[in-house]
Amino acid sequence: MANVSIRNLNVHLDGNEIIKNLDLDVLDGEFLVLLGPSGCGKSTLLHSIAGLNEVTEGRIEIGGADMTWVDPSQRNIGMVFQSYALYPTMTVERNMSFSLRIKGLPTAEIERRVQRAAEMLQLEPLLKRKPSQLSGGQRQRVAIGRALVREACVFLFDEPLSNLDAKLRNELRRELKMLHKQLGSTMIYVTHDQVEAMTLASRIVVMRNGLIQQIGAPGEVYEKPENLFVAGFLGAPNMNFIRGSLAFTADKLTFVATPLNLDISGYAFRQPPKESQATTLGIRPENIHITPSGRLQGSVSLVEPMGIHQVVWINCCGNMISSIVHETVEYRADQPIRFDIDTSKVSLFDQLEQRL
């Protein structure tokens, strides 16, 4: 068990600045997910924590001890890689015991740990096989097992499920979550898959270009994105964005994007809003309700059936707005419809793309 604390971290790789002045605190026992598009520095950050990258500047502490320049094997971490990185010439059992054999633990202890990990991950029947005789899902479970036997304080996952097919990914995702519940150890998990991030994380760190955009619980990041990037990155289909401006009328504050006119008096502004300030309004598809009594008007341009729900794309005032509909109503193209926007769920962003 340990927390991880990163202070003022700078990482350059091949002369490129990958991570800039990053501060991050990972709490003890937390499942922290680093989320971002490829090239955002999330993997580099993870590898820096593991000690596989050289740090240009800054400090990394694991469990209160300065680990910035400590050898990877001495950091008390276990790591799982995207490509599994199993040792092809060794059996599953020897793959898992490799680190323990290097440490020179007694044979009985090695056996006990391997058995325990194998039990947890249902690997017992596979112990004598070589990695090449395993399926993708089994390989990744062995890789997880190899990290487990070290009984490390912190587990690092580098996109561990990206190479698996969709069904297996869901399965292993659940297993990982159960594993975290069972072990209660600190886990840091890198992914570009928002579903993995939302389902696994106790907190999500959204990164872009080596900078942290937002840190928060999954619900918080989803409901109250700090900026346009975070808002657009999470959620499928994307959050709808409408450009417009703010207007004060009598006792009300409205968002105006002619012909749209929304009462947003209830919005929790961080700074006092200014008259006619240029604003982007973001609203998630599930907060747009198609109803005959709706105040807004548009026409259906496309319907995407998803099984569990359907996504209706509404052509309204020059914008394409998506709405998630759970009822099994059939919509035709060009059909005129009325809808409402749930103004209690909107996010507003200023010209600098920051949350208002």
Which tokens go with 193? 């898959």
Nearer to other proteins, 150 or 208 (CB): 150
Residue 8 touches other proteins, criterion: CB under 8 A: no
For residue 275, the 8-state DSSP code is T
Among 5, 44, 82, 185, which residue sits at the site for other proteins (rule: CB under 8 A)?
82
- Shortest spacing between CB 74 and other proteins, in angstroms: 8
Cβ neighbours of residue 144 closer than 8 Å, sequence gap 6 or more: 80, 121, 160, 176, 179
Amino acid at position 305, single letter:
P
Residue type, position 348, single letter: L
Task: Look at the block and give the residue holding tokens 């950091």.
Answer: 75
Q: Which two tokens stand for residue 117?
A: 């990990």
Among the residue ranges 83-91, 121-129, 217-225, 246-254, the one whose residues contact other proteins (CB under 8 A): 83-91
- By CB under 8 A, residue 14 contacts other proteins: no
Binding other proteins (rule: CB under 8 A), the pick from 1, 23, 57, 87 is 87
Which CB atom, from 89 or from 354, has the smaller least distance to other proteins? 89
What secondary structure letter does DSSP report for 238?
Answer: P
Q: Min. distance of Cβ 98 from other proteins in angstroms?
A: 5
98 is a site residue for other proteins (CB under 8 A): yes
Q: Is 83 in the site for other proteins (CB under 8 A)?
A: yes
Give the residue with the Cβ less far from other proteins, 70 or 317: 70
Span near other proteins by CB under 8 A; candidates 79-87, 177-185, 220-228, 313-321: 79-87
- Is 51 or 216 the residue whose CB approaches other proteins more closely? 51
- Identify whether the C-beta of residue 26 lies closer than 8 Å to the C-beta of residue 19: no
| Residue 81 Cβ vs other proteins, minimum distance, rounded to whole Å | 4
Is the distance from CB of 45 to CB of 22 less than 8 angstroms?
yes
Beta strands in the chain (DSSP E): 4-13, 16-26, 31-35, 57-62, 65-66, 77-80, 154-158, 186-191, 203-208, 211-216, 240-249, 252-257, 260-263, 278-283, 288-290, 296-305, 310-316, 319-325, 336-341, 347-349
C-alpha span between 51 and 72 (Å, rounded): 5
154/348 with CB nearer other proteins: 154
8 A C-beta contact, residue 294 and residue 339: yes
Binding other proteins (rule: CB under 8 A), the pick from 13, 85, 215, 256 is 85
Site string for other proteins, 257-276 (x = CB under 8 A): --------------------
# residues near other proteins by CB under 8 A: 24
Task: Rule CB under 8 A: choose which of 73, 122, 249, 354 binds other proteins.
Answer: 73
- With CB under 8 A as the contact rule, the residue among 1, 52, 195, 217 that binds other proteins is 52
- For 285: left if phi > 0, alpha if psi spans -120 to 50, otherwise beta; the answer is alpha
Please report whether residue 99 would count as binding other proteins according to CB under 8 A.
yes
Interface with other proteins, residue 78, by CB under 8 A: yes
Q: Interface with other proteins by CB under 8 A: which residues?
A: 47, 50, 52, 71-73, 77-79, 81-83, 85-89, 98-99, 102-103, 143, 146, 150
